[in-house]
């Protein structure tokens, strides 16, 4: 058995060294670390080599991260029983990540184990909201044990599972998907593989520093999800993913209705507090507090106030609406690189 880490990187000179060092610190040895520089114009390759990683440079890649991964995976000479750790160049893993993931992969039905990602040391309102959002995501995984998306931040994947995707689809990662991680999740599940995300498999990754970058990131995520479920059709595996899109649409409609009716009531002077809806609201606030309780008093206070998270939710909903418009116009979407320290 060998574990090979593949790290696609585009202009990640500032962060790739930390990523490689987090792999060197694993309690179970990562046999090979390969940084795949994709159309980089900075010193990504130099930084990767300095940290002790091997490197390769993509050739003629026009398919973003998926294309870079396909070129790298095609160049590997692995065998059944080997594993590929695919991770982002701006991500750091806890030292026990590989060891914990291999525990789940003892089950031959498990094709991949993904990271539960968090943001580290949030700065300012916007990053703190992302921090709380991801904390709730981790809490949901811990509570339900279900993995909806095999996170692109880091995932340890069984080589046989990757080969099965290539044989069935003609590629490891779909080059036409702008969210290659969620498409791989669907491909693996449709081929009968299980995927897991133990909460112990923690990773820290970058958070969006500006409102514009957050909007563009989430629009891409939403657009990719829409593209993937449309391409895969409606079946037993994709039904929950279609359901998610329906619920997102409903939530946008309800939020818009709530804001319009509240505004009309305030303007006309007919606004009043209804005991029933007040109790419903209190239950909602209680749920928000409980799901971030372990994050400390600041998180609990933010959940109680509601307004801060409500404003953040409106940004995410606007990104979803923009993604729906892009999908309706059959736009492929774009990837926006985040410069470290922006």
**pLDDT digit string (tens) for 31-78?**
999 999 999 999 999 999 999 999 999 999 999 999 999 999 999 999
On whether residue 155 sits in a domain, the answer given is yes
Residues 181 and 248 in one domain: no
Percentage of the chain exceeding pLDDT 90? 85
The stretch 215-235 carries a mean pLDDT of 96
On whether residue 220 sits in a domain, the answer given is no
Residues 110 and 192 in one domain: yes
Q: Model-level pTM?
A: 0.92
What's the CA gap between 268 and 263, in Å, rounded?
9
**With contact defined as beta carbons under 8 Å apart, do 214 and 315 qualify?**
yes
Q: Please identify which residue in the block is written with the tokens 């010193």.
A: 43
What was the pLDDT predicted at 161? 98
Residues 114 and 170 in one domain: yes
What's the CA gap between 303 and 298, in Å, rounded?
9
Residues 200 and 311 in one domain: no
Residues 173 and 305 in one domain: no
Supply the mean pLDDT for the chain.
Answer: 93
Q: Is the pLDDT of residue 341 over 60?
A: no
**Number of structural domains, the chain?**
2
Residues 40 and 117 in one domain: yes
- CATH code for the domain in which residue 47 is found: 3.90.550.10
What was the pLDDT predicted at 339? 57
Residues 272 and 148 in one domain: no
On whether residue 341 sits in a domain, the answer given is no
What's the CA gap between 63 and 84, in Å, rounded?
20
What's the CA gap between 270 and 278, in Å, rounded?
16
What was the pLDDT predicted at 70? 96
Q: Which of 190, 207, 224 finishes a domain?
A: 207
On whether residue 213 sits in a domain, the answer given is no
Residues 236-278: pLDDT tens digits?
Answer: 999 999 999 999 999 999 999 989 988 998 898 888 888 887 8
Q: What is the dihedral of CA 315, 321, 323, 325, to 10 degrees?
A: -150
What was the pLDDT predicted at 342? 38
On whether residue 225 sits in a domain, the answer given is no
What's the CA gap between 331 and 265, in Å, rounded?
39
- Alpha carbon 174 to chain centroid distance? 16
What was the pLDDT predicted at 337? 61
- How many C-beta neighbours within 10 Å does residue 14 have? 16
On whether residue 85 sits in a domain, the answer given is yes
On whether residue 201 sits in a domain, the answer given is yes
The stretch 97-115 carries a mean pLDDT of 97
On whether residue 27 sits in a domain, the answer given is yes
Q: Is the pLDDT of residue 230 over 50?
A: yes
Q: Is the pLDDT of residue 309 over 70?
A: yes
Supply the range of the domain harboring residue 127.
3-207
Percentage of the chain exceeding pLDDT 70? 98
Q: Is the pLDDT of residue 117 over 60?
A: yes
For the beta sheet containing 110-114, the strands, ordered from the edge strand earlier in sequence to the opposite edge, are: 54-57, 32-37, 3-9, 83-87, 154-158, 110-114, 194-196
Q: Phi then psi for 123, rounded to 5 degrees?
A: -120, 120
């Amino acid at each position: 058995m060998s574990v090979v880490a593949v790290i696609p990187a585009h202009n990640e000179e500032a962060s790739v060294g930390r990523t490689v060092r987090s792999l060197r610190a694993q309690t179970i040895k990562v046999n090979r670390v390969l940084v795949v520089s994709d159309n980089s114009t900075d010193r990504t390759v130099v930084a990767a080599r300095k940290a002790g990683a091997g490197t390769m440079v993509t050739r003629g890649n026009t398919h973003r991260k998926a294309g870079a991964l396909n070129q790298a995976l095609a160049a590997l000479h692995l065998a059944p029983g080997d594993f590929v750790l695919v991770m982002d160049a701006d991500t750091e893993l806890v030292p026990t990540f590989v060891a914990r993931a291999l525990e789940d992969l003892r089950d031959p039905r498990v094709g991949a184990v993904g990271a539960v990602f968090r943001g580290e040391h949030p700065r300012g309102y916007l990053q703190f909201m992302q921090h709380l959002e991801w904390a709730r995501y981790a809490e949901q995984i811990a509570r339900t044990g279900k993995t909806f998306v095999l996170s692109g931040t880091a995932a340890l994947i069984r080589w046989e599972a990757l080969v099965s995707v290539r044989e069935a689809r003609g590629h490891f990662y779909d080059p036409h998907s702008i969210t290659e991680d969620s498409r791989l999740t669907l491909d693996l599940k449709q081929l009968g593989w299980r995927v897991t995300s133990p909460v112990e498999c923690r990773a820290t990754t970058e958070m969006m520093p500006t409102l514009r970058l957050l909007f563009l990131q989430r629009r891409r995520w939403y657009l990719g999800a829409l593209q993937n479920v449309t391409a895969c059709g409606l079946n037993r595996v994709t039904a929950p993913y279609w359901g998610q899109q329906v619920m997102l649409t409903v939530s946008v409609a309800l939020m818009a209705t709530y804001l319009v009716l509240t505004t009309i009531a305030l303007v006309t002077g007919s606004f009043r507090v209804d005991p029933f809806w007040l109790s419903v609201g209190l239950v909602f606030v209680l749920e928000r507090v409980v799901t971030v309780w372990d994050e400390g008093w600041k998180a609990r206070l933010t959940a109680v106030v509601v307004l801060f998270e409500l404003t953040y939710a409106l940004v995410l909903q606007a990104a979803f609406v923009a993604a729906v418009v892009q999908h309706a116009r059959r736009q492929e979407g774009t990837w926006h690189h985040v410069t470290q320290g922006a």
